[in-house]
Amino acid sequence: MTTRPLYPFITFLYFCLAFLSCNDNKANKDTIADSPLEMQQKATELIRSKLTAVLNADGKTEDSLVIIEQAKLAKLLYEKKAFAPIWCSKEEWLPEGDSLFKFIEESQLFGLFPNDYHHLSIKKIREKFETDSLARNDRKDAALWANADIMLTDAFVQIVKDVKLGRIPNDSITLRKDTLITDEYYLKQYDLLLQSGLTKLIQTLEPSQRGYHSIKAGIRSFLASADYREFTRVPYPEKDQQKFNRLLQKRLYEGGFISFDSVNADSAQLAGAVKLFQQKKGITVDGRAGEGTVRMLNTSDREKFIRIAISMDKYKKLPEKMPSRYIWVNASANYLEVVDNDEVKLLSKVICGKPKTRTPVLTSLISSLITYPQWVPPPSIVSKEILPAVKKNPGYLARKGFSLVDKDGNEVDPYSVDWSKYTKGIPYRVVQGSGDANALGIMKFVFDNKYSVYLHDTNQRYLFANAMRSLSHGCVRVQEWEKLAFYILGNDSLNANAGYTKIDSVKTWLKNKQKRSIPIRNKVTVFIRYITCEGHDGKIVFHDDVYGEDKMLREKFFADK
């Protein structure tokens, strides 16, 4: 049998389901079975003919109402059973059929959407069987059993794919090596279903990462209190201040943060209501309806569930087996963890990139540490920030502690340069010398990446007190940089030449304010990811989608949800 990768290939094939017609007509007498044995025979022939028809004719009949996404794979599964029904037998559901339908009904608990798996159509057929009468003969209609069986098979294949790989596409840093699944893989999953049951099969397909299971553990609680009402959207930015205040008040009223909507609130009343909202969401409480606050006001529970689904899918892009020791940075939540044998050894606040200078998603290895580093601003910062400032006043460089260096390494007097000639780049390096005022602080963690970003200390440590910490140019500023450095060094080898451990040496260099580069032999993997919701103590905590990444994914891949 030839093998073929499933994703991104999706086949859209249709078949006619007469039972979904508005007219509840009696079943075609040719599909009515007089005995359970005849039901099995008729259902088998109908499954064979329906699948053959939709594959040959592309399934585009005039009254097609149900989309079969995986018709070719379904046909392969049925071929193993000579096209006999998989989920039912002789007018009865098999245990596998019942368990699969129950999973579909509860699939939101796995960050999935029931209607992706023909939930309503299958449910309608099952209800027909439960309320059958002699006049209707629904339960004896082989066409209904065949249709339901094909939909369940299609759902099974799609569930395997969605649970294992998710629905968002791979990106340049996806580390899974098994993202191209062969046809044989799906056939094997059906065999495992028969051997171990659906619950066990799903467990083998799910990712093992703690973050995934923490989110999953909070879904039931989220769904129990979810409010799927459509709230008033607050426009931002909005030039008409009166319109903005009117819609803001209406949204705050709908959420119970202000008690009236019949008359216009004054600025103090609006600010008070905004503060209540900000307190509830755990963001900076300043009473101002700025971009971040409005973005959270405009996020509905329906959109939040889609973010849950997207976040769980992002964990599916990680390697099936994570390193025994790694550093995890969530650029949405602005925190860092050191994980050792699945246990968090260190937790630190971090400051990540602003929306316009986002921290990139990446995977790399920390290869060295640098005490009292110099900072060489990347070209983007030079062109967008430093060049405009120095055009106004060349003294800006000295005030910020920057030196101007030419290609030969010679320092250049900024007052001797005709800055008006340059509009983007400059033929010089801008260097900020080592010291306590350096933007990188007194410790830098180096790892290879194409974005020129790294982890580092900062000379603006007061910013860690902010609730909203998306403030950097893209690098990750680490509050607990010293603990992180000593943890990395403590798991590295001894510095035999000096006779001291690397930690002792680094403490001395820091005390003496010396610049030193410390190579790391046991390189530590660093994962920088952007995940906007997390599970904590059985609850789901949502972070601001400050980069708009989840919004883009929602609009592109979950628009119909």
Give catalytic residues, as residue numbers: 456, 475
Q: Letter for the amino acid at 242?
A: Q
Q: Max alpha carbon distance in the chain (Å)?
A: 100
100, 158 Cβ separation under 8 angstroms? no
Bridge partner residues of 445 (DSSP): 369, 455
Six token digits for residue 519: 């190579």
SS3 14: strand
**3-state DSSP of 135-192:** CCCHHHEHHHHHHHHHHHHHHHHHHHHHHHHCCCCCCCCCCCCCCCCCHHHHHHHHHH
SS3 35: coil
Cα dist. 532→219, 331, 542, 548 in Å?
A: 15, 9, 6, 10
For residue 425, count CB atoms less than 10 angstroms from its CB and return exposed for 0-12, middle for 13-18, buried for 19 or more. Answer: exposed
What phi and psi, each to the nearest 5 degrees, are found at residue 181?
A: -100, 130
Angle at 40 between CA 36 and CA 41, to 5 degrees: 120
**3-state DSSP of 429-477:** EEEECCCCCCCCCCEEEEECCCCCCCEECCCCHHHHHCCCCEEECCCEE
